[in-house]
Amino acid sequence: MLVAMAASDVLTLTPAGLYCRAGDFHIDPLRAVERALITHGHSDHARAGHGAVLATAQTLGIMALRYGENFAGATQAIPYGERVTLGEVVVSLHPAGHVLGSAQILIEAQGYRVVVSGDYKRARDPTCAPFEPIRCDAFITEATFGLPVFRHPEARQEVEKLIASCRLFPDRAHLVGAYSLGKAQRVMALLRAAGWDRPIWIHGAMEKITGFYEENGVPLGQMRKVAAADRAKLAGEIVICPPSATQDIWARKFPDPVVAFASGWMRIRARARQGGVQLPLVISDHADWDELRATVEETGCCELWVTHGAEDALVHWAAQRGLQARPLNLIGYGDDDESVAEAQS
Amino acid sequence: MNRFAELLDRLAYEPSRNNKLRLLVDYFRTQPDPDRGYALAAMTGALTFAHAKPALIRTLISDRTDPVLFAMSYDYVGDLSETVALLWPAPQPPERPAGSNQPLAPTLSGIVEQLHETSKSALPLQLALWLDALDETGRWALLKLITGGLRIGVSARLAKTAVAAMGGLDPNDVEEVWHGLKPPYLDLFAWVEGREPRPVTDDPAPFRTSMLAHALDEADFATLDPAEFSAEWKWDGIRVQAVTGFDAAGASVQRLYSRTGEDMSQSFPDLLEALGAAGLGDVAIDGELLVVREGLVQSFGVLQQRLNRKSVTAKLINEYPLHIRAYDLLSENGEDLRPLPFMERRARLEALLGRLASPRLDLSPLVSFDTWEALAEARRDPSSAGAGADAQAIEGVMLKRLQSIYAPGRPKGPWWKWKRDPFNVDAVLMYAQRGHGKRSSFYSDFTFGVWREGPAGDELAPVGKAYFGFTDEELGQLDKWVRNNTINRFGPVREVNHGLVLEIAFDGLNRSTRHKSGVAMRFPRISRIRWDKPAKDADRLETLERLLRE
């Protein structure tokens, strides 16, 4: 006898996060567990101390860089698209387009397909593999920018604003706050694509990750370390640093710095102003409202779970389209990348 | 429009005056006429669009979006124009016959010119077409422009300073010709770019930039010599400039300007008529606009009843007889008196007013003093120092250096204002509202009340609203307190537990029929947060009523 399956037969919500009993693993667990599947290397998703970790080779590399080689009891790298059997289910990883190595996780249980998106975006990004939509029965999505006011402009346009500002204020340093994994390298790549051929100055916090991107075949042009330079002499230069550094005493030594911040939150003026940002650059590594909706439709899912972000609006929209939709209100994600707390701290 | 929108966007985030100036100069240098002229007009407040109201914008967006999603978005963003700019749905690709032109993004001048021709009924459609053609920043700028709320931290003065800087001129050079000019200011730009001579202003009664005073810190007295200063009352009315002259046909012209140069003549026809009848000739008088009833100067609260009225009725004119109390004489029969020292200008002013007997115009009397202590005593008690019953309309004293020339702007040193000490009251926080702009995520507008006896025991009577006086850090604490003590929500307003006492400083008190409590405060601000004080120990309405009687 066939019984119709539901997402809750495959995944349940535990204090550690999403758990698949049939395969006995957690996805992006919030605390240390026996076996974890990790979607990408941002620290709110990839934590140290798990028994075994299964992820893309790049995500494992990023975790080793951040937490040391022994960040987990055992690791297993699987390439995009390769199917691995875990208990009674088959899992595979597929590009999510968020940062280098980021993956969606497809779980197949007796023909029933669940996709956990992790964080993702649909906009083009030369620093990572593009998102691949996967047909599924249930789609577990993020909704960091799940409100219709969030429609990201073309990133190219935003970087042109930055370059125009450097031309208008050649006597000022331009500090670009960007999360050190992913956003920073994307901004560098965008600058290169826009024809900025001067060296790009980077803060110490992003040296290792940027080197990792280059080792993984992402060319970013000539980099210089701020640590070794006289900051007072960096007029007219572009300096990429963690968002918190722009508000730090560290930033004061630059000549009359223009504080820029590359984040989807910069769409909201009050947010930018609270962060003391003078040049908001709306560049996001998350899907915007249009991309979220388009992606949900492309998956063909009939059940939608929304893990974190602005859940209510997306659930409202999905319910109107006849989908079974529910918010998970997972606490703990989104504290890291693009977070406003960082801009304010 | 896009370049103007980018400018506004950038200016809104740039805190430094110098950098704002560079952005403005860059814009004026690189943009063509007449766009840059309309941009200048927008920033100097020379543009108004009668029909564009927030309600219209709300209707436009509600016709195009899901109400639940709109409500969530508006709540999140907190600003209507910004919400609509972000939420506006991208238009469907138009079906056009092959070969027809693609719609272009509208230009600023196109929008301004079209807006003045568009009827109220045609406006919604026109506005929607523009919103379709612009990007997010462009939509935001358009909505801010037409609803008159640019809020980009650029004063008219700064915009004119930028224009002056294009030609290496002093901003006051621009101010002097400003009142003869009209948007889009082609002659002004031609002049500053050296293509044409200075625009000839044929205005027979032009505005002259006001001279303003710095607030005096009592510590400053140590460095000031009383023998070098003259003192007079600081009247609590509206600073104005009354200018009279003759047009080309020899007809007499009178104008009344605000201290920022806004022409307010239309609101005060009775006063203008009196100025015309006074036979002043060709003069510019700096003074204070007051209501004087039967020789007695009324408080600011009374004057306020006369201001901002849509129509000026005979009843209004009779009940609120206007008066100018003269401080200074800036020009007389074509002679510019501003380079003269204050004492000489004062003598000319006294001579002029001595020749006339206008019931609507008199001289602001000097306050005699030998020492700063004597002046302090006069300030504390103006009625005993010669002001008599007019003391209720005095908000302090003004100090002017006898040798000071009339320098436009706010130079530091020649003039000082020394305001009366404020009144204080301990009130209880009742409601808080989210602020605007930089404060849109903070509860920053506070309504407070004092105790009075109600039918069921003591109750709070709201007596005012304050939104400044606190530091950024205190704002954070207040915001947190409001969030933790909310008992009711009405849109952006939260009602809170009656548990926090605020010490409110204010400059005066008026009877009010608009406020339930019957009193209205002048210039209330939060002087201290009394975390320590129990709410039941806050002041009572009787305290304020007593103050009102005094």
pLDDT digits (tens, 9 = 90+) for B447-492: 999 999 988 899 999 999 998 888 888 998 999 999 899 998 886 7
- Give the pLDDT of residue B440: 53
B438 closest CB neighbour out of A149, A273, A312: A273
Q: By percentage, how much of chain A surpasses pLDDT 70?
A: 96
Domain span at B527: 423-549
- Give the pLDDT of residue B93: 61
pTM attached to this predicted model: 0.72
Residues whose CB is less than 8 angstroms from the CB of residue B492 and which lie 6 or more positions away in sequence, other chains included: B78, B433, B434
- A320 CB neighbours in chain B (<8 A) are 66
**Which of B359, B386, B419 is the C-terminal boundary of a domain?**
B419
Q: By percentage, how much of chain B surpasses pLDDT 90?
A: 61
B441 closest CB neighbour out of A147, A270, A277: A270
- Identify residues of A whose CB sits under 8 angstroms from chain B CBs: 147-151, 153, 161, 165, 168-169, 256, 267-274, 277-280, 310, 312-313, 316-317, 320
Mean pLDDT (whole number) for B88-117: 75
Q: How confident is the model at residue B359 (pLDDT cuts 50, 70, 90)?
A: confident
Q: Cβ A278–B13 below 8 Å, yes or no? A: yes
B13 closest CB neighbour out of A151, A272, A312: A272
- B26 CB neighbours in chain A (<8 A) are 168
In a shared domain, residues B384 and B476: no
Q: How confident is the model at residue A1 (pLDDT cuts 50, 70, 90)?
A: very low
In a shared domain, residues B472 and B510: yes
Please indicate, yes or no, if residue B205 is contained in any of the structural domains.
no
In a shared domain, residues B352 and B430: no
Q: Cβ A151–B136 below 8 Å, yes or no? A: yes
A277 closest CB neighbour out of B13, B22, B135: B13
**Edge-to-edge, what's the strand order for the sheet holding A303-309?**
A84-86, A89-95, A103-109, A112-116, A138-143, A303-309, A324-327
In a shared domain, residues B232 and B286: yes
Q: Is B510 helix (H, G, I), strand (E, B) or coil?
A: strand
Q: How confident is the model at residue A339 (pLDDT cuts 50, 70, 90)?
A: very low
Question: Which of A189-203, B189-203, B226-240, B302-316 is least confident?
Answer: B302-316
- Give the pLDDT of residue A337: 47
Q: How confident is the model at residue B155 (pLDDT cuts 50, 70, 90)?
A: confident
The fold of the A155-281 domain, in CATH, is: Rossmann fold (3.40.50)
Mean pLDDT (whole number) for A30-48: 96
Q: Cβ A279–B13 below 8 Å, yes or no? A: yes
Q: Is A177 helix (H, G, I), strand (E, B) or coil?
A: strand
Q: What are the beta bridge partners of residue B252?
A: B246
At what angle are helices A207-215 and A183-193 packed, to 10 degrees? 60
**Is the model's pLDDT at B60 over the cut of 80?**
yes
Neighbours of B323 (CB within 10 A): 23
State the burial class of residue A287 (Cβ atoms within 10 Å of its Cβ: 0-12, 13-18, 19+): buried
Distance from first CA to last CA of chain A, Å, rounded? Answer: 58
Q: Cβ B72–A273 below 8 Å, yes or no? A: no
**Is the model's pLDDT at B437 over the cut of 60?**
no
Please indicate, yes or no, if residue B115 is contained in any of the structural domains.
no
Domain(s) labelled CATH 3.60.15.10 in chain A stretch across 7-149+285-344
CATH value at residue B239: 3.30.470.30
**Is the model's pLDDT at A32 over the cut of 80?**
yes
- Give the pLDDT of residue B92: 66
Helix (H) or strand (E) holding B27: helix B17-30
Q: Cβ B13–A310 below 8 Å, yes or no? A: no
Range B303-308, long-range pairs (CB < 8 A, 24+ positions)? B303/B237, B303/B238, B304/B510, B307/B238, B307/B267
In a shared domain, residues B400 and B442: no
B72 closest CB neighbour out of A147, A161, A274: A147
Q: What is the ipTM of this complex?
A: 0.92
**Rounded-to-integer distance, Cα B521 and Cα B461, Å:** 13
Q: Which two tokens stand for residue B58?
A: 């709300």
In a shared domain, residues B400 and B464: no
For residue B14, give how far its alpha carbon lies from the nearest alpha carbon of chain A (Å): 5
Q: Are B193 and B186 in contact (CB under 8 A)?
A: no
**Is the model's pLDDT at A223 over the cut of 90?**
yes
Q: How confident is the model at residue B439 (pLDDT cuts 50, 70, 90)?
A: low
Dihedral sign (CA A30, A34, A40, A42): positive
CA dihedral B261, B266, B271, B273 (to 10 degrees): 120
Please indicate, yes or no, if residue B503 is contained in any of the structural domains.
yes
Question: Which of A92-101, A285-294, B104-113 is least confident?
Answer: B104-113
CATH of domain A7-149+285-344: 3.60.15.10
Number of domains in chain B: 2
For residue A26, give how far its alpha carbon lies from the nearest alpha carbon of chain B (Å): 32
For residue B526, give how far its alpha carbon lies from the nearest alpha carbon of chain A (Å): 22
**Rounded-to-integer distance, Cα A194 and Cα B519, Å:** 62
Give which of A269, A282, A288, A345 to mutate to test B binding, by max B Cβ within 10 Å: A269
**Which of B397, B419, B441 is the C-terminal boundary of a domain?**
B419
**Which of B363, B395, B419 is the C-terminal boundary of a domain?**
B419
- B135 CB neighbours in chain A (<8 A) are 153
Cβ–Cβ contact B180 with A under 8 A = no
CATH value at residue B432: 2.40.50.140
Mean pLDDT (whole number) for A147-175: 95
Q: Which two tokens stand for residue B546?
A: 């007593």
Please indicate, yes or no, if residue B204 is contained in any of the structural domains.
no
For residue B136, give how far its alpha carbon lies from the nearest alpha carbon of chain A (Å): 9
State the burial class of residue B484 (Cβ atoms within 10 Å of its Cβ: 0-12, 13-18, 19+): exposed
- B139 CB neighbours in chain A (<8 A) are none
Average pLDDT, chain A: 92
Q: How confident is the model at residue A130 (pLDDT cuts 50, 70, 90)?
A: very high
B83 closest CB neighbour out of A149, A272, A280: A149
Residue with the larger pLDDT of the pair B154 and A302: A302
Q: Which two tokens stand for residue B299?
A: 């408080």
CA angle B140–B134–B53, rounded 5-degree value? 45
Residue-wise pLDDT tens digits, B300-338? 888 988 887 778 899 999 999 999 999 999 999 989 999
In a shared domain, residues B382 and B512: no
Please indicate, yes or no, if residue B395 is contained in any of the structural domains.
yes
Mean pLDDT (whole number) for B413-419: 93
**Is the model's pLDDT at A309 over the cut of 90?**
no
**Rounded-to-integer distance, Cα A194 and Cα A48, Å:** 37
Q: Is A87 helix (H, G, I), strand (E, B) or coil?
A: coil
Residue with the larger pLDDT of the pair B159 and B149: B159
**Rounded-to-integer distance, Cα B494 and Cα B434, Å:** 9
**Is the model's pLDDT at B434 over the cut of 90?**
no
Residue-wise pLDDT tens digits, A73-90? 999 999 999 999 999 999
Q: Which residue of A has its CA nearest to B78?
A: A270
Q: Which two tokens stand for residue B278?
A: 């006074």
Helix (H) or strand (E) holding A67: helix A57-67
In a shared domain, residues B224 and B308: yes
Please indicate, yes or no, if residue B364 is contained in any of the structural domains.
yes
**Rounded-to-integer distance, Cα B186 and Cα B542, Å:** 60
Please indicate, yes or no, if residue B262 is contained in any of the structural domains.
yes
- Give the pLDDT of residue B505: 92
* Size of the A and B interface in Cβ pairs below 8 Å: 76
φ/ψ of residue A177, rounded to 5: -75, 125
Q: Which two tokens stand for residue A112?
A: 């029933």
Q: Which residue of A has its CA nearest to B24?
A: A168
**Is the model's pLDDT at A335 over the cut of 60?**
no
Q: How confident is the model at residue A341 (pLDDT cuts 50, 70, 90)?
A: very low
Mean pLDDT (whole number) for B515-529: 87
- A316 CB neighbours in chain B (<8 A) are 66, 68-69, 72
Cβ–Cβ contact B120 with A under 8 A = no
For residue B481, give how far its alpha carbon lies from the nearest alpha carbon of chain A (Å): 19
Domain(s) labelled CATH 3.40.50 in chain A stretch across 155-281
Q: Cβ B82–A268 below 8 Å, yes or no? A: yes
Catalytic residues of B: 234
In a shared domain, residues B265 and B411: yes
Cβ–Cβ contact B26 with A under 8 A = yes
In a shared domain, residues B237 and B306: yes
Q: Output the 3-class SS for B403-454.
A: CCCCCCECCCCCEEEEECCCEEEEEEEEEEEECCHHHCCCEEEEEEEEEEEE
Q: Which residue of A has its CA nearest to B90?
A: A151
**CA-closest candidate to residue A325, choices A336, A311, A309:** A311
Q: Is residue B34 reached through a cis peptide bond, with omega within 30 degrees of 0 on the bond before it?
A: yes
Question: Which of A58-72, A246-260, B472-486 is least confident?
Answer: A246-260
**Rounded-to-integer distance, Cα B472 and Cα B458, Å:** 33
- Give the pLDDT of residue A160: 96
**Rounded-to-integer distance, Cα A136 and Cα A134, Å:** 6
Cβ–Cβ contact B152 with A under 8 A = no
Question: Which of A116-125, A286-295, B91-100, B344-353 is least confident?
Answer: B91-100
Q: Is A128 helix (H, G, I), strand (E, B) or coil?
A: coil
- A269 CB neighbours in chain B (<8 A) are 12, 79, 82, 437, 440
Buried b (16+ CB within 10 A) or exposed e, A221-244: eebeebeeeebeebbebbbbbbbb
In a shared domain, residues B345 and B259: yes
In a shared domain, residues B238 and B358: yes
Number of Cα atoms under 13 Å in the Cβ half of residue B40: 30
